[in-house]
Structures are given as structure tokens and as C-alpha cells.
Structure 1
Amino acid sequence: MIRSLLALLTLAALGIGSRVVWPVERVEVVGNIQLSDTQVRAVTGLEVGTPWLWAWPNRLEALRANPWVRSARLERPAIGQLRIVLEERKALATLVLEGVEWGLSGDGVLLPNPPKTPTRVEGIGSIRLSDVITIVKALPNATSIRYTPAGYTVRGEGFEVWASTAAELQKWASDRKSLANKPTYLYSWGESKSR
């Protein structure tokens, strides 16, 4: 009975001591561009003064739910120090859906409040994000991609091209060393240029 009471008191003292003895003295956030250090610390609850021993990686779950965050990990470089290492997604293009601008990442995630990108994507009908990503990667100097149920019109400095599929545009881009100055229309049987 006495041993059980002593064990319980020891565990309680260790639990209380672990919250007081080693507080977090420094929280470093690295790899963040879109999210500020303050936002990251607020979402995770990892602030100076919190118990260092109670800073577990599960504190990063709310941060990982943010669409800008591709990955996040917690490191403990020294006693009293925490480092939150982020890998953020990047917006390849600005996608306009129902009047709202979204960033489109390379893995198809829609990113809120994106920075300006060189490529703007808008259109009518349903959109296949994988097609748009293929087009942006094949034609990185495109300034405008317009989609319709019939296909895609891509414009950039010195070129304009239309195709019914992203695969046709990808093939056209890989076959060209320099882009045509005249509007080009791609069909399954060949291509046509406007005069």
C-alpha cells in the first residue's frame, strides 16, 4: 500500500516537474514562405514557455491540414529548443473558379490566397486539374490557359495554340524548339495555323 502511494506520488511529481523544469526557450520555424512563424506557432500551440517534454509531433496535425503544407516535422535540437520544419506547396498557376482565385499546386491541391503567378487559368465547364497541371508543366511560359468542354486554348508571349486534349498540347510543346507566332490548332490528324 505504501509502495503504491509512493509510486503514485513520484509519478505525479515527475508529471508536474516535467511541465515546469524544462520550458521551451526557443521555437524556430524553417521552410515557411506562405505561412508566418506566428501562424505556425499559433496553430501548433508550440510557444516559448510550453513544456518541452510535452511537445509531441501530434501537435503538428492541425498544421498538416493546411493546404499550403506538404509536410511538417518536429525536431528537438537541444533541451528547451524546438524546430518546426515545413515543406510548403508552390502555386504553379492561378486558377479562377466561380470568381475566386486559387493557387494550383503541382499535386493538384487548391491553395487559398495565392501569390501572383505567371499563368492564369479560367474557363467554362468542368475542369480536370491533372490536365491543367500537364499543360502548365509542358508550356511553362504560358500566360493564359482557357478551358471549355471542347478543349484548351493556351496563350503566351509569341504563341497561341488550341487542342482538344492536354496530351496533344504536351506533344506539340515537346516537338517545338521555338513556339509559333501564329495561332495554331491541334487535331488528332495534324495541326492548322491561322494566316
Structure 2
Amino acid sequence: MGSMKALLALLLATLYVASRVAFPLEEVEAVGLVHLEAEPLLLQARLLPGEPWLWVGPGRLAPLGQNPWIAEARLEKPRPGAARLWVRERRPFLPLPDGSALAEDGTLLPGGGPLAPGPRVEGKGPLPKEALLALARAYPEAQRLRYTPAGLWVDLPEGTLFAPEPGLLLEYAQAVRPKGEVYLYAWGVSVRP
């Protein structure tokens, strides 16, 4: 019985060593990248040539979850000795004054400001992410969105809109807008040409 256990232990040790040597990772690629570079991501996920292919699993992607630019990452093993890191990046949407950007899902993307196509965002106080994203979608022609504790402004080519809360601006997005400054309140609308 003791020799059977020793034989089984020897067999398992041999299989373990063989699995680390017999199928090394020879080919590694990262696909789906737009703004990120492959090499640092592969290094972070420990997807390097020479690693044991059999031991490369989805657990290696955990460190990539800390990167705000990565919306989704998957690991594919198309054949023995090959691994593919598939990445879906978040897209910058609203440029912020500090050079970062808000992604379409509200995630803060460091350095994404120059890549963001949306209107410029300026403001003081806590960043109202959801309100800014909703306003940018409701007013695609907006040139600038501003926020303060007093309310929000939407700068359009034909004028400026102000409301103390985003809901009023969202309701007004469907209305015919006069030129000039428009102030929206729960009790009415004030227009200054």
C-alpha cells in the first residue's frame, strides 16, 4: 500500500513537471486594443512566452480588472502553445478639465480628455457624472457643459440653458429653443435674448 502511494505521488509529480515543460507558451497576442498597448497588458496578466500553457487560465486576468480603460477582458487558448488576450476598451466620451475623460458608462479614464469627442466639461464641486452623461446625450450639439452647486449650464451654438437640476434640462431637450439665455425652473421659463 505504501509503495502504491509513493508511485502515485511520483506519477503526479512527473505530470506536474511535464505540464510545465512540455507545452510552453510560445505565441501570445492581444487583440481589440485601440488606445492601450499590448506589451504592458500581457506583462500584467503574466502571459509571457515560456510560461506553462496548461496553467494559463482566466485567473491571470484579475489584475486587468483594475485598469479603468478595460471594460472586458477574455483569455482564449486557440491551440497548444498559443494564448490570445481579447480586450474591449472603454471609449472616452466627455473631456474633463484635468485631462481625464468620462467614458460612456461613467468610468473616469485618466488621460482620455484629448480623445473624447463630447462637449467640454467645466465646473466646481462634486462631479455629477450621470447628469453630465445624460445632458451630453440629450444635447449632442452642445459645445460645453458646466456645473456648480447652483445648477447646470448647457452651452449651445444658439445660446445657453441653465437649470438648478438636470431633469429640467432633459425635459427641455425636446422643446423648440429660442436663441439667447434660457433659465429653466420648476415654476417656469425665463428667456433673455
| TM-score between both structures, scaled by the size of structure 1 | 0.89
Aligned to 2:104: 106
Aligned to 1:29: 30
What is the identity percentage for the equivalent residue pairs of Structure 1 and Structure 2? 36
8 Å contact from structure 2 (residues 64, 73) kept in 1: yes
**Deviation of residue 115 (structure 1)?**
4.4
Following superposition, the deviation at residue 180 of structure 1 comes to 4.5
SS for the counterpart of 1:59 is: helix
Residue identity opposite 2:122 in structure 1:
E
Cα deviation for residue 174 of structure 1 reads 2.5
CA deviation map 1:12-52 (0-9, x unaligned): 11111111111112212122222111121011010122111
- Aligned partner of 2:91: which letter? K
Distance 1:190 1:59 in 2: 56
Q: Residue deviations 1:90-124, cap 9 Å, x none? A: 1210123xxx3321122222111114223221211
Which segment drifts farther, 6-15 or 53-62? 6-15
- Is residue 106–residue 129 contact of structure 2 (8 Å, CA) maintained in 1? yes
Determine the C-alpha separation between the residues in 2 that align with 1:143 and 1:37.
34
2:180 to 179, 182, 189: 182
For residue 157 of structure 1, report the CA deviation from its aligned partner: 3.0
Q: Given the alignment of the two structures, is residue 80 of structure 1 paired with residue 78 of structure 2, yes or no? A: no
Matched, 1:191 2:189: yes
The CA RMSD measured in Å over matched residues stands at 1.7
Name the residue aligned to 1:139.
139
Q: Aligned with 2:62: secondary structure?
A: helix
Cα distance, 1:159 vs. partner?
A: 3.5
Letter in 1 for 2:85: I
Q: Which amino acid aligns with 1:120?
A: R
SS of alignment partner, residue 93 of structure 2: strand
- Please name the residue that 1:126 is paired with: 126
1:158 corresponding residue in structure 2: 158
Give the structure 2 partner of residue 9 of structure 1: 10
* Number of equivalent positions: 190
Q: Where do 1:62-81 residues align within 5 Å?
A: 62-81=63-82
In the TM superposition, residue 182 of structure 1 has moved relative to its aligned partner by 2.1
How high is the TM-score relative to the length of structure 2? Answer: 0.90
Where 1:175 maps in the other structure, the secondary structure is coil
Cα distance in 1 between the residues matched to 2:24 and 2:86: 20
User: What does residue 39 of structure 1 align with?
Assistant: 40
Show structure 1 runs of 4+ deviating over 6 A: none
- SS of residue paired to 2:51: coil
Distance 2:166 2:135 in 1: 6
Q: Which sections of structure 2, spanning at least 5 residues, go unmatched?
A: none
Code of the residue aligned with 1:114 in structure 2: it is: G
Alpha-carbon distance between aligned partners in 2 of 1:180 and 1:5, rounded to the nearest angstrom: 88
